[in-house]
Structure 1
Amino acid sequence: MSQDSFQALVNRLETAWSGRPEGLLKHTVAWVTLGYVVLAAPVLVGLILLAVGVVLAVLYQSVAATLVAGLIAFAGLGLVVFVLGCLWVHFEPPEGVVLEEKDHPELHQVLAELGDLAGGMRFHRVMLDPDMNASVVQTPRLGIFGWYRSHLMIGLPLMEALSLDELKAVLAHEIGHLTRADGKTCAWLHRTRETWERVVERFSRNGHSRVFGDFFQWFWPRFSSRVLVLSRFNELAADQFAAHAVSPQALASGLRRLAILGKRSEREFWEPLDCVVNEGRDLPTNVMERLSEVIRQRLDSNEAAAWLAEAEASRTGSTASHPGLMARLAALHLPEESAHILPSELAEGQSSADLLLTPGIMEQTRRHFSRMWVEQMSEGRARRALQQELEQAAGNRKAWYRIAALVRLDGLEKVQAEVMALLERHPAHSGALYLRGSHLAEKSDPQACEFLERATSDPTIASRALQALEQVHTSHGREKEAAQAKERALQHDIELRAALVERSLLNASDSFFPHDLCESDHQALLNLLTGEPAVGRAWLASKEVRHFPRWPLVVIGIELAHHLSANARRALDTQLMHLWAGEAYVAVFVVDDATKGVLRALRRAVADSEIYRRK
């Protein structure tokens, strides 16, 4: 389903069920039940096959019957394990600074009072995080089957932005999600939606996804849209609980203040900081301290009014689980005269952070989150640099394949612009050096010898480069140099034949050592292996060779998860060899009884040789 179609579906549901959240709740529960029933069907089939296999094995004692029974039972067990394995989704617990009750009694007292209004609601853990937000994160112990732990996440910037009453209203809103019976059901459906999203992703990545693909394409957007609309209704219900537990004025003031400060921090802090990150400048190590200063600065009333108006005019996105600010304020039924009042300035030392947290914990937490931000941005820069390297390497390979094809059709003259462009990006590209040298030789340019000589460093091209050098020297009357080039070509061909024989044989007696792949090439190899469902595990090393030691022999061992046809195997080998673009000789072997000795020798010599294992 396209994004526009999904948005239209959400709009239709929101209109159709407006004012009837209980009806939509029952309707959505029916949809999730349908999903579980469909997933239960293959599990039931698998259990039946398993039972049939066991019964056949008991009733019939012949070898043939036992073999058939085993195959049936194994197929049933495999189906059950496959489906349940896809359903077993692991959620990482949230990260943050834990706020223990003994260290922060005032904050826990506030939560206890609000929890008592909600029937004794308590959280497993209360944590600070670096966001200007508060949220309840529930992590399932049993994947899609639930048994949740509840974590209350409170943003330090949020506490620095809000007054105590405003923070109480925001926290009451979060608690309100888990109080009423229908609220708990809505929260369960929201968690189930997140779990199902991961399940659908896992099925789509698996080679057997076609079995369930049509169902998921039909089911997922319809189920997801209903949970999304229900989440918006539930947000308004949680607002009502917060208004009753604290006051509608405190909640409205908190929502307005967060909208204003959210716009301010985005324009005055995060956007300039994004420029620093994207331009590669030094990363500041005190990000949270700077953000705190921006949040605590006095607001200009005109700017605040403009930012609030902008936030109120923002439309709700198709995938947003919260209603817009205007809809939330309207649902509080505030008096007309207070509908557009700006929140008052907080006096020095009167933010909820100042009242509930000690200066020491705030300073320590800011430093911790600033370090986290620097680490995340540094990792992001490294990933982008790696991606650029991968794209450049892929671009060089693509450019070379294009040049190699065109030179056969159009000749050397018409590809020189592309050859020179490739050499600018990759000055040591032997193929481009050879083509450039050959073209200059045709023009009797003295620079031809330099390019051709550099091309001889590649054993796969050296013979042709030396022959071209011989012709250049001969054409210029340099008989001695021509004879030397001819002799070098002869000796090279002899050694090349020996090198190819040496590289075509893999034995348990060979000497292996760790590969020297750069990170970008290593990632490209992992991407290729991940994209081939038949590959279960893979090992990588280099083999010690006597002939042309500067022309590395890369050895890749592959364990297949299922059978691979001969054509598919050749295609995989070709893709693996293309990764090195002729810069190394690639030997690929499939692990079987004949090659287990080679794998044992490789793993003994290189402890970390395993580079891939399918999850």
Structure 2
Amino acid sequence: MASTRAHRALARRLESEARRAPRRYLLKLALLAGLGYALLLGLLAVSLGLPLLMLGHVLVNGARPGPELAYAVLLPLLFGGVLLRALWIRFGVPEGYVLAADEAPALQAEVERLRRAVGAPPLHGIVIDGELNAAAANLPRALGLLGHRHYLMLGLPLMQLLDCEELAAVIAHEFGHFGAGHGRFTGWIHRVRLSWHRVLDGLANSGFLFSRLLLKFYAWYVPYFNAYSFVLARRNEYQADAAAAASVGGEAAASALIRLELGARRLHGRFWPRILDRARAQDHPPARIHAQLARALQDAAHVDIGRLLEIADRDVDPDDTHPGLPQRIAAMGANARLRPRGASAGADLLGPALLAEIERGLDEHWRDRVRPQWRERHAAAAADRARLAVVEGLEAPSAEQRLEHARLVEALRVDLDPAPLYERALADLPDSALAHYRAGLLALRGGRADLGAARLRRAVALDPGAVRPLLAELEALGRDPDLDAAGADAAGRLHRELAPHGQALDARDAASEEDDLLAHALDAAALRSLRETLAGESRIARAWLVRKRMAMAEAPPHHVLLLDWRGSIAGEAAGLKRLVDALELPGSVTVFTGSDRRALARHVRRICPDPVYRRRQV
């Protein structure tokens, strides 16, 4: 987190520097870009050149070679060989369906027309994959020193979402990234950014000890270089957008951006979660996923463009080189509106036979990739499926069992509306926080904003702990572009109303060195249970326990548990999560190891000098 903040601060400082002194900024960026290559070339020159110099010295001076010379020559050569092997990264063609020459003449002719119009270098191929995206793939030869191979990647969902003019805008944008739209220097910097990410992947997967040493340097260098080149990279995005607008017009380019934003939110917010939810009841992934995906993307439901732009602006990632949607459209000088949808570009440019063939291949690839996760989800829901069968077999279920039935139906039968089941359960259990919570969310999503908000307020009144998950649900609803205006307004008002309660809970359940800490008040039985739980994790050597002084005496306690963790840092997070899930302390608890919170660790030890647990104490 601290590293992320530092890089963001550096990027902001460099934005100011680029405005004040653009030439100095570009010079420093060029020198930094060359540094990464210079180190590699320098190491290669030393490791391979030194043995040659030694052998030349022997031959010129007629010296008699001894065993020590063999070591002096072989060791650098071995070093150089390991370095070459570690850096000999083969970048294959991007994954997907690679179009053969003249296999899709309409698409290939349109791509070639746009390539020439933008002034991009020749392509080595076009790849169709299953993403709602397009990309300019630059595959470096010898770390880019011998040039690049250029591939255009087009997602089949993208081609099915957009019409031909909108797809042309996206393709022109990607060709802008190949360099012509950026100028020689900025195009080179853009390719360097992409190359170093691939170099990092290659080093990480090479398996050589020396490559791991280099990886440490480049793990620092690449993020630093990214922060330095961020200003230029964001400018590149605007230039690529300008290339798109110049090629097909600002109206089509803006419409493509809006349709992409809307499609991505529909897929990630609704389509994919519902598909994966089917794994709880269905033991195999669906056969024709891309046909379903295309229908979801072509949903003609009305959308409020103003609200979509507001959502997109709110969700801009400060580390993303892509500017926000409103900023991109404004920079093109276009109006933010959707054009009437034309025929799908996929059908027009690929033809029905090739489209069906590509769909089949992508469907098979998706099923193979998702099958392990699907089986895991299906197995995890076995108890719920068995319990649903039992509850549905009851002749006279109790009120609690009817509520359980509603919950199980919502979890397992994604095509059924569970709202009536929750309403019936509420008639018998008017004080059930769970029933109010689930019924409220369903009502809010289903166009009954006032009822949904009332139900959710009641759920929080019955169970204050529901605030945290509810705030997360309301944030997700606020990002749903298909939520009606009344629902969006109700979700926003409820979030603002409940946010202070959530912040109060977070403050209560947090721990810092400024907190007033007290000795724990656990009795002997509770301490014995804690020690038994800690003994189940072999990497814990000692533990100290205190509690936080609460503002209200009747508030549930919040404990702070410091661990002497003897395992690797890599496994620390997963081990702590398992431990937190297993702990049965009253109230809430903060568990930490002190590896990154030393001041709090010292504070805890001052209050609790003697550990409450030592290994082999149980």
Give the TM-score normalised by the residue count of structure 1: 0.56
Decide which of 231, 241, 244 is 2:243's aligned counterpart: 241
Who is 1:82 aligned against? 82
Shift of 1:250: 1.2
Name the CA distance, whole Å, in 2 between partners of 1:75 and 1:114.
53
**2:347 is the counterpart of 1:346:** no
In structure 2, give the amino acid aligned to 1:124.
H
Who is 2:543 aligned against? none
Who is 1:364 aligned against? 357
Name the CA distance, whole Å, in 2 between partners of 1:273 and 1:253.
28
In structure 1, give the amino acid aligned to 2:36.
G
Name the CA distance, whole Å, in 2 between partners of 1:142 and 1:16.
33
Who is 2:294 aligned against? 292
Unpaired segments ≥5 residues, structure 2: 380-527, 537-569, 571-618
- Which is further off, 151-160 or 111-120? 111-120
Alignment of 1:312-391 (within 5 A): 312-318=313-319, 320-334=320-334, 338=335, 340-341=336-337, 343-347=338-342, 350-380=343-373
In structure 1, give the amino acid aligned to 2:360.
R
1:464-488 Cα shifts (integer Å, max 9, x gaps):
xxxxxxxxxxxxxxxxxxxxxxxxx
1:196-242 Cα shifts (integer Å, max 9, x gaps):
42366469x75346865775465333213223442222111111111
Who is 1:142 aligned against? 142
Shift of 1:21: 7.0
Name the CA distance, whole Å, in 2 between partners of 1:153 and 1:374.
21
Who is 2:265 aligned against? 263
1:418-476 Cα shifts (integer Å, max 9, x gaps):
79x99xxxxxxxxxxxxxxxxxxxxxxxxxxxxxxxxxxxxxxxxxxxxxxxxxxxxxx
Q: 1:181 to 1:227 in 2, by over 3 A?
A: same
- Assess if the C-alpha contact under 8 Å between 1:118 and 1:175 holds in 2: yes
Q: Tell me, what secondary structure is at the counterpart of 2:36? A: helix
In structure 1, give the amino acid aligned to 2:262.
I
Q: 1:32 to 1:297 in 2, by over 3 A?
A: same
Q: Tell me, what secondary structure is at the counterpart of 1:193? A: helix
Name the CA distance, whole Å, in 1 between partners of 2:136 and 2:308.
27
Shift of 1:255: 0.3
Who is 1:274 aligned against? 276
In structure 1, give the amino acid aligned to 2:294.
S
Name the CA distance, whole Å, in 2 between partners of 1:52 and 1:61.
14
1:136-164 Cα shifts (integer Å, max 9, x gaps):
11223434534322111111111111122
Q: Tell me, what secondary structure is at the counterpart of 1:17? A: helix
Who is 2:197 aligned against? 194
Alignment of 1:216-231 (within 5 A): 216=218, 219-231=221-233
- Which is further off, 5-14 or 122-131? 5-14
Name the CA distance, whole Å, in 1 between partners of 2:205 and 2:7.
22
Who is 1:537 aligned against? none
- Assess if the C-alpha contact under 8 Å between 2:203 and 2:211 holds in 1: no
Name the CA distance, whole Å, in 2 between partners of 1:42 and 1:230.
29
Unpaired segments ≥5 residues, structure 1: 387-413, 423-526, 528-615
In structure 1, give the amino acid aligned to 2:42.
A
Shift of 1:12: 2.5
Q: 1:188 to 1:210 in 2, by over 3 A?
A: closer
- Assess if the C-alpha contact under 8 Å between 1:193 and 1:224 holds in 2: no
- Assess if the C-alpha contact under 8 Å between 1:50 and 1:72 holds in 2: yes
- Assess if the C-alpha contact under 8 Å between 2:82 and 2:210 holds in 1: no
Name the CA distance, whole Å, in 2 between partners of 1:206 and 1:189.
24
Shift of 1:181: 2.2
**2:60 is the counterpart of 1:67:** no
Q: Tell me, what secondary structure is at the counterpart of 1:91? A: coil
Q: 1:176 to 1:19 in 2, by over 3 A?
A: farther
In structure 1, give the amino acid aligned to 2:325.
L
Q: Tell me, what secondary structure is at the counterpart of 1:123? A: coil
**2:177 is the counterpart of 1:184:** no
Alignment of 1:61-140 (within 5 A): 65-119=65-119, 121-140=121-140
1:510-569 Cα shifts (integer Å, max 9, x gaps):
xxxxxxxxxxxxxxxxx9xxxxxxxxxxxxxxxxxxxxxxxxxxxxxxxxxxxxxxxxxx
Specify the structure having the higher radius of gyration (Cα).
Answer: 1
In structure 2, give the amino acid aligned to 1:33.
G
- Assess if the C-alpha contact under 8 Å between 1:47 and 1:80 holds in 2: yes
- Assess if the C-alpha contact under 8 Å between 1:166 and 1:251 holds in 2: yes
Name the CA distance, whole Å, in 1 between partners of 2:366 and 2:22.
40
- Assess if the C-alpha contact under 8 Å between 1:269 and 1:294 holds in 2: yes
In structure 2, give the amino acid aligned to 1:86.
A
Shift of 1:172: 0.7
- Assess if the C-alpha contact under 8 Å between 1:131 and 1:157 holds in 2: yes
- Assess if the C-alpha contact under 8 Å between 1:176 and 1:183 holds in 2: no
Q: 1:57 to 1:136 in 2, by over 3 A?
A: same
Q: Tell me, what secondary structure is at the counterpart of 2:152? A: strand
Q: 1:13 to 1:102 in 2, by over 3 A?
A: same
Name the CA distance, whole Å, in 1 between partners of 2:120 and 2:35.
33
Name the CA distance, whole Å, in 1 between partners of 2:373 and 2:171.
32
- Assess if the C-alpha contact under 8 Å between 1:129 and 1:154 holds in 2: yes
In structure 2, give the amino acid aligned to 1:245.
S
In structure 1, give the amino acid aligned to 2:106.
E
- Assess if the C-alpha contact under 8 Å between 1:91 and 1:143 holds in 2: no
1:387-444 Cα shifts (integer Å, max 9, x gaps):
xxxxxxxxxxxxxxxxxxxxxxxxxxx99x979x99xxxxxxxxxxxxxxxxxxxxxx
Name the CA distance, whole Å, in 2 between partners of 1:103 and 1:136.
20
- Which is further off, 362-371 or 5-14? 5-14
In structure 2, give the amino acid aligned to 1:193.
W
Shift of 1:378: 1.6
Shift of 1:39: 2.6
Q: 1:6 to 1:61 in 2, by over 3 A?
A: same
Name the CA distance, whole Å, in 2 between partners of 1:251 and 1:374.
33
Name the CA distance, whole Å, in 2 between partners of 1:243 and 1:19.
29
- Assess if the C-alpha contact under 8 Å between 1:165 and 1:250 holds in 2: yes
In structure 1, give the amino acid aligned to 2:196.
R
**2:161 is the counterpart of 1:161:** yes
Who is 2:28 aligned against? 27
- Which is further off, 139-148 or 210-219? 210-219
Name the CA distance, whole Å, in 2 between partners of 1:254 and 1:123.
23
- Assess if the C-alpha contact under 8 Å between 1:96 and 1:128 holds in 2: yes
Q: 1:243 to 1:28 in 2, by over 3 A?
A: same
Q: 1:19 to 1:88 in 2, by over 3 A?
A: farther
Q: Tell me, what secondary structure is at the counterpart of 2:174? A: helix
Name the CA distance, whole Å, in 2 between partners of 1:328 and 1:345.
21
Who is 2:504 aligned against? none
- Alpha-carbon RMSD across the aligned residues, in angstroms, is 3.6
- Assess if the C-alpha contact under 8 Å between 2:283 and 2:378 holds in 1: no
Give the TM-score normalised by the residue count of structure 2: 0.55
In structure 2, give the amino acid aligned to 1:41.
G
Q: 1:346 to 1:197 in 2, by over 3 A?
A: same
1:171-208 Cα shifts (integer Å, max 9, x gaps):
111111222423531332223322342366469x7534
Name the CA distance, whole Å, in 2 between partners of 1:153 and 1:55.
50
In structure 1, give the amino acid aligned to 2:362.
F
Who is 2:486 aligned against? none
Alignment length (residue pairs)? 384
Who is 1:536 aligned against? none
Shift of 1:70: 0.9
Name the CA distance, whole Å, in 2 between partners of 1:279 and 1:90.
42
Q: Tell me, what secondary structure is at the counterpart of 1:154? A: strand
In structure 1, give the amino acid aligned to 2:348.
L
In structure 1, give the amino acid aligned to 2:105.
P
In structure 2, give the amino acid aligned to 1:16.
E
- Assess if the C-alpha contact under 8 Å between 2:282 and 2:378 holds in 1: no
